[in-house]
Amino acid sequence: MTLGLAFDLLLACALLWSAWRTLSTPRLDRAIILFIAFGLLMTIAWIRLSAPDIALAEAAIGAGLTGALLLDAYGALRQRKRRRKAS
């Protein structure tokens, strides 16, 4: 019981920390990676709350698809910037 509580507290701290870092880090690529990490931690939180349905959806949509979309957008932004510099 206490082990579970300790894990939950650790998870809550990690969630808050990764959320804060996602918003405060100045580099976009790091923010995206942290966002994905936040999504995966959120998945564990949903499992701890015994809601496996939401955990599945969070892992697939929140962390997976949204993360990939953000990474793709970041890549496109960088490419555009490079092209502008070259011309």
Partner 1 sequence: MKALAKTFVVVWLALVFVAAAIGAMLELGPAALDLRAPVTDHLTDTGVSHPVTAVLLNYRGYDTLLEIAVLLLALLGILAAGGAAGSAAPKAAHPMLQASARLAAPLMILVAVYLLWAGAFLPGGAFQAGAVLAAAAVLLHLVGLTRGWDSPRLRLRLGLAGGFALFLAVAAALLTQGALLGFPPAWAGELIMLIEAGLTVSLGLILAGFFLFLSRDLR
**What is the closest distance, in whole angstroms, from the C-beta atom of residue 55 to partner 1 in the complex?**
8
52 within 8 A of 46, measured Cβ to Cβ: yes
Question: Nearest CA to 43 among 34, 53, 31?
Answer: 53
Furthest-apart CA atoms within the chain: distance in Å = 63
* Residue 78 in the binding site for partner 1 (CB under 8 A): no
- Give yes or no for residue 37 binding partner 1 (CB under 8 A): no
72 binds partner 1 (CB under 8 A): yes
Which positions touch partner 1 (CB under 8 A)? 52-53, 55-57, 60-61, 64-65, 68-69, 72-73, 76, 79-80
